[in-house]
Structure 1
Amino acid sequence: MEHRQLVHFLAVLDSGSLTAAAQRVGLTQQALSKSLSRLENELGGKLFERGTRGMTATRLGESISEYARDIIASAGKLRHTASAALGLERGRLVVGLSPISAASLLGKRLTQFAQNYPNVRIDVEGGIDRDFVAALHRGELDIALSSQVGGQYDGILLEQVFSEPWGVGGCVNNQALQDAQSISDLADGKWIIGRNTDLLDDIIAETFSNAGLPMPKPGIMTTSVLFSLHALSQSDFLAILPQSLCRDFNGILWRDLSDGAWISPIYMMRRRRAHMDELVSVLLRELKG
């Protein structure tokens, strides 16, 4: 039985889909299926049943799940202990970053940490909160930074470490956006609508309501930040975006038209029972500035 087989098993268990699990662990579906088959052969039974709703754990799969999580977590603790023994001269950290966190000042502070400690290897994994929760429980991440936190998660510590301002983004040549004094001046705008946090959605809706406007109807709906930025730079569409994503993107004008009301907190996420070694402690201190 190999460590990676348990990682593959938990990826399928947490996602409920062979396709999603394969993407998460960076394998083809065929390779992931073979890994699961080898584990099933060693254990002597099937771990999953395939149905219309995806992959469902069998009784055997359910019975070993907590043991598998403990083994993965113990392996992570072993790595942390080794890093602590080596001090800040050598070691390894695995950090999850959401797109907004990566573009914010936190991304720059993480880069600065890597420059200050050149012998510490830092692995950065992209994703959003639900990806990070599963990876933290599997012991695959030391910490994660995300603005898209849907609430409290069992076994996960949340701590706000930064705040990101949001505003209206558009092409630098968009005259309406250049001249706008308030959100009401963009009542006739065409909008690209993406995914915000629930709290921010409420605040944005309140701003539009106070201006006597309904929430903008999407001309384009997307979950791709990169598409949004490219589309904005080449058209007269508008979008509500964090300042950090627009700041360094050529051709984008960003305006605060909410008088500073659109603020999204960025949270540090960490497994509640995870060992806090010196590397993680120093990184958190530097991320907080």
Structure 2
Amino acid sequence: MISFCDHSEGIVELTLTQLRMFIAVAEAGSLRAAARRLSIAQSGVTQQLRKLETNVGGPLFERDVRGVRLTPIGERLRVRADLIIGECEKTEAEMRQLRGELVGSVSLGLAAEATMRLFPALLASFRERCPRIDVHLTSATSRVLTSWVREGSLDFALASIATDADLHDMETTRLFDADVAVMARRGHPLAGARTLAELRDAEWVSTRHKTQRSNRLAAMFEQAGLPPPRIAATTEAVFDTLHCIAASDYLALEPASLADHAFFRDHIVVAPVAERAAGAPVCLLRRAGVPLTPAAQELATMAVSFARMLPAAKHATPRTV
């Protein structure tokens, strides 16, 4: 049972059973479908939801002929319920792992360069050691990965860290340094540009919002005394960016090693621009003061070991256009 204080009404008590039924209804879209999923009578689901709505002080669902949808109160509770149930499941798995049962799952966030340089060999080795542990991989920008680690939806992440990133509540372990470069499609009329000034009228696709202080592209233009770059679109995944520039005249500033990725090396080249953007270290991020499960700790320890064996990243070398 979970209790919290409502200063006007006293103590509000929620049970895990109520939260699990609430999530099931939200996912299934109807009480009947949720009852089938949970293998219980629909009346049992209805009863628990009524108790839950009484406890939280308002309706959680709006009902119509198509089923149910969350109210504003329900939407807020859904976020909290997912976190609570997720932490309970992690705790159950952790207790089993501490008893020597190597079962459960690890949720790992990866920035693009960590995916390419580290993850395939790391996963193969981890699966040999822990074949019954499921590994769930999430790719996104480092900013997004950091927020997901902070809220607990990821056990840890391998992400590039900007110099002004707020990591006061994180533990970080430096893995390797990432070099970035200007990238263009092969045959792009500006792919041979040697100065940033030649690219002042180009349009860019960026994996960071153009108003972020940590946007390395904007900082590079500012340091060169140029107007801000023209951002055509932003994405939440580097590989989305690379797909976009490979088929258009947009440019991007991304980890240099990705130009050699098997999916892109025949379509993308590194422009020989003299100005260089500041690199960023790729680090292992985890919540400070929150222990990892034994399985997650094993994978994190292996990630650090594998990173130490990586060859140093080479500076971006322009390739023939």
Q: TM-score, normalised by structure 2?
A: 0.61
- Work out whether 1:282 is the aligned partner of 2:298: yes
Task: Quote how far apart the aligned CAs of 1:221 are.
Answer: 1.2
Larger radius of gyration: 2
Once the two structures are overlaid, the 10-residue window that deviates more, 275-284 or 233-242, is 275-284
Aligned residue identity for 2:252: A
1:100 and 1:81 mapped to 2: Cα distance? 33
| 1:205-220 correspondence runs (5 A) | 205-218=218-231, 220=232
Select the residue among 202, 211, 230 that pairs with 1:189.
202
Q: 5+ residue gaps in structure 1?
A: 10-17
What's the counterpart of residue 188 of structure 2? 174
Aligned residue identity for 1:234: A
1:205 and 1:228 mapped to 2: Cα distance? 17
| 1:73-222 correspondence runs (5 A) | 73-86=87-100, 90-100=102-112, 103-117=115-129, 119-126=131-138, 128-129=144-145, 130-134=147-151, 136=152, 141-147=154-160, 151-152=166-167, 156-177=170-191, 179-195=192-208, 198=212, 200-201=214-215, 203-218=216-231, 220-222=232-234
- Work out whether 1:265 is the aligned partner of 2:281: yes
Q: Deviations over 1:110-165 (max 9, x none)?
A: 3233344252423214253333433x1xxx543233347852375x5444434332
Task: Quote how far apart the aligned CAs of 1:167 are.
Answer: 1.8
Percent sequence identity over aligned pairs: 18
Task: Quote how far apart the aligned CAs of 1:79 are.
Answer: 1.0
Aligned residue identity for 2:224: A
1:95 and 1:120 mapped to 2: Cα distance? 14
Aligned residue identity for 2:156: I
Q: Please state whether the residue corresponding to 1:191 is helix, strand or coil.
A: strand
Tell whether the 8 Å contact from 2:149 to 2:155 is kept in structure 1 after alignment.
no
Tell whether the 8 Å contact from 2:98 to 2:294 is kept in structure 1 after alignment.
yes
Aligned length: 259
- Work out whether 1:41 is the aligned partner of 2:53: no
Q: Please state whether the residue corresponding to 1:176 is helix, strand or coil.
A: coil
- Work out whether 1:253 is the aligned partner of 2:269: yes
Tell whether the 8 Å contact from 2:184 to 2:251 is kept in structure 1 after alignment.
yes
Distance 1:4 1:231, change over 3 A: farther
1:4 and 1:243 mapped to 2: Cα distance? 50
Aligned residue identity for 1:176: L
2:227 and 2:295 mapped to 1: Cα distance? 48
1:116 and 1:265 mapped to 2: Cα distance? 29
2:59 and 2:281 mapped to 1: Cα distance? 40
Q: 5+ residue gaps in structure 2?
A: 1-14, 36-44, 63-70, 308-321
Distance 1:76 1:206, change over 3 A: closer
Aligned residue identity for 1:95: S
Q: Deviations over 1:167-201 (max 9, x none)?
A: 21110222422x22232232332322441694541
What's the counterpart of residue 311 of structure 2? none
Q: TM-score, normalised by structure 1?
A: 0.67
Task: Quote how far apart the aligned CAs of 1:229 are.
Answer: 2.1
2:255 and 2:22 mapped to 1: Cα distance? 35
Tell whether the 8 Å contact from 2:220 to 2:275 is kept in structure 1 after alignment.
no
Q: Please state whether the residue corresponding to 1:231 is helix, strand or coil.
A: helix
What's the counterpart of residue 14 of structure 1? none
Task: Quote how far apart the aligned CAs of 1:4 are.
Answer: 9.2
Q: Please state whether the residue corresponding to 1:282 is helix, strand or coil.
A: helix
Distance 1:151 1:200, change over 3 A: same
Tell whether the 8 Å contact from 1:93 to 1:142 is kept in structure 2 after alignment.
no
What's the counterpart of residue 228 of structure 1? 241
| 1:8-27 correspondence runs (5 A) | 27=27
Distance 1:240 1:74, change over 3 A: same
What's the counterpart of residue 252 of structure 2? 239
Tell whether the 8 Å contact from 1:100 to 1:244 is kept in structure 2 after alignment.
no
2:88 and 2:245 mapped to 1: Cα distance? 46
Aligned residue identity for 2:208: R
Tell whether the 8 Å contact from 1:40 to 1:46 is kept in structure 2 after alignment.
no
Q: Please state whether the residue corresponding to 2:241 is helix, strand or coil.
A: helix
Q: Deviations over 1:232-268 (max 9, x none)?
A: 1122221122235443132111347466543233343
